[in-house]
Structure 1
Amino acid sequence: MKIATINVNGIREAVERGFLDWLAGQDADVVCVQNLKAKSFELDDSILYPEGYEGYFLDAEEDGFSGVGLYCRKIPKAIMYGLGFPQCDNEGRFLQADYDRFSIASFLMPDGSDPTAKQDFMSQYQDYLGKMARKRREYIICGTWHVAHKTIDLANWADNQTTPGFKPEERAWMDQVFGPIGFIDTFREVNRDAGEYTWWPALDQHQPRSRQEGWRLDYQLVGPNLRRNVVDAWIDRDATFSEYAPLIVEYDLEL
Structure 2
Amino acid sequence: MGSSLFKLTSLNLNGIRSATTKGVEQWLAQAMPDCICVQEVKCQAPEVQGRFEQLAGLQGHFHFAQKKGYSGVGVYSRHEPTDVIMGFGSEEFDAEGRYVELRFDTPQRRFSVVSAYFPSGSSGEERQQAKFRFLDEFEPHLLRLKGERDFVLCGDINIAHKEQDLKNWRGNRKNSGFLPEERAWMTRLLDEHGVVDVYRHLQPHTTDECYTWWSNRGQAYAKNVGWRLDYHIATAGVARTARHAAVYKATRFSDHAPLTIEYEFAI
- The TM-score with structure 2 as length reference comes to 0.90
Once the two structures are overlaid, the 10-residue window that deviates more, 16-25 or 168-177, is: 16-25
* In 2, Cα distance between equivalents of 1:148 and 1:187: 13
Aligned amino acid, residue 155 of structure 1: K
Q: Secondary structure at the match of 2:137?
A: helix
* In 2, Cα distance between equivalents of 1:209 and 1:56: 34
Q: Give the equivalent residue in structure 1 for 2:3.
A: none
Q: Give the equivalent residue in structure 2 for 1:200.
A: 214
Aligned amino acid, residue 124 of structure 1: E
Q: CA deviation at 1:165?
A: 0.2
**Between structures 1 and 2, the one with greater strand share:** 2
Q: 1:76 aligns with which of 73, 81, 92?
A: 81
* In 2, Cα distance between equivalents of 1:40 and 1:26: 26
CA contact (8 A) 2:7 2:263 kept: yes
* In 2, Cα distance between equivalents of 1:207 and 1:121: 28
Percent of aligned positions that are identical: 35
Q: CA deviation at 1:43?
A: 2.6
* In 1, Cα distance between equivalents of 2:165 and 2:37: 21
Q: Give the equivalent residue in structure 1 for 2:228.
A: 216
Q: 2:103 aligns with which of 95, 98, 103?
A: 98
1:109 to 2:95 alignment: no
* In 2, Cα distance between equivalents of 1:43 and 1:77: 22
Q: CA deviation at 1:115?
A: 0.8
Q: How many residues align?
A: 252
Q: CA deviation at 1:22?
A: 1.4
- The TM-score with structure 1 as length reference comes to 0.94
CA contact (8 A) 1:160 1:166 kept: yes
Q: Give the equivalent residue in structure 2 for 1:121.
A: 134
The answer for unaligned runs of 5 or more in structure 2 is 1-5
1:133 to 2:142 alignment: no
Q: What is the aligned-residue RMSD (CA, Å)?
A: 1.6
The answer for unaligned runs of 5 or more in structure 1 is none
1:2 to 2:7 alignment: yes
Q: CA deviation at 1:208?
A: 5.9
* In 1, Cα distance between equivalents of 2:113 and 2:43: 22
CA contact (8 A) 1:36 1:65 kept: yes
Q: Secondary structure at the match of 2:177?
A: coil
Q: 1:145 aligns with which of 157, 164, 181?
A: 157
